[in-house]
Amino acid sequence: MPVEKVLIAVLGSDRPGIVAAVSRVLSENECNIEDVSQTILQSEFAGVFMASLPKGLSMEALESRLQEHLKPMDLSVLIKPVRLSIRYEPPPSQPFVVTTIGPDRLGLVAGITEVMARFGVNITNLRAAFRGGTDPRRNVMIYEVDIPLHIDQQAFRKALRQRAQDLGLDLSLQHRDIFEAIHRV
């Protein structure tokens, strides 16, 4: 079965021109970029591109062309097929934002996400910045999550708050609409 879409991960030291280099190779090979997410983690670039392949171009050929152009920039490339038939179908849910603030230590992400996983809460976006030091405001995690309507939300909130307390974190849980209204400038 031919691959129609691919997911391309690009990692390496951040510098200007990475997105331009990746998108140029994709454009030259007639791959349509359908989705992109990129960020800078301290000094490292991490980008994920979802692209469709034109007929006649294999995933392996595209990977080879990406490697050829990106390896001189000391960038790593991972490419995988997107199987549309294997797709997570989320239950009806509501979008929320969970924010934690507190001193950096081992296990913060694992501790919070374990509770989310136990209740079937899906993380749709996560931003965590750990800058260390004694100022807890320098260590912030922001989770965008979908909370299924069928779970016991009181039990979830209680378990999440207890875990945050155990980890020494201040936690906020808000419906995304409220979060956005409060943080709108």
Q: What is the pLDDT of residues 6-63, one digit of tens each?
A: 999 999 999 999 999 999 999 999 999 999 999 999 899 999 999 999 999 999 999 9
- Model's pTM, two decimal places? 0.80
Q: How far apart are CA 44 and CA 47, in angstroms?
A: 10
Share of the chain above pLDDT 90, in %: 78
pLDDT at 133: 66
Q: Where in the chain is the domain with CATH 3.30.70.260?
A: 5-81, 93-183
Q: Find out if CATH 3.40.50.10190 is the number for domain 93-183.
A: no
CATH class of 5-81: alpha beta
Mean pLDDT score across all residues of the chain: 92
State mean pLDDT over 65-79: 96
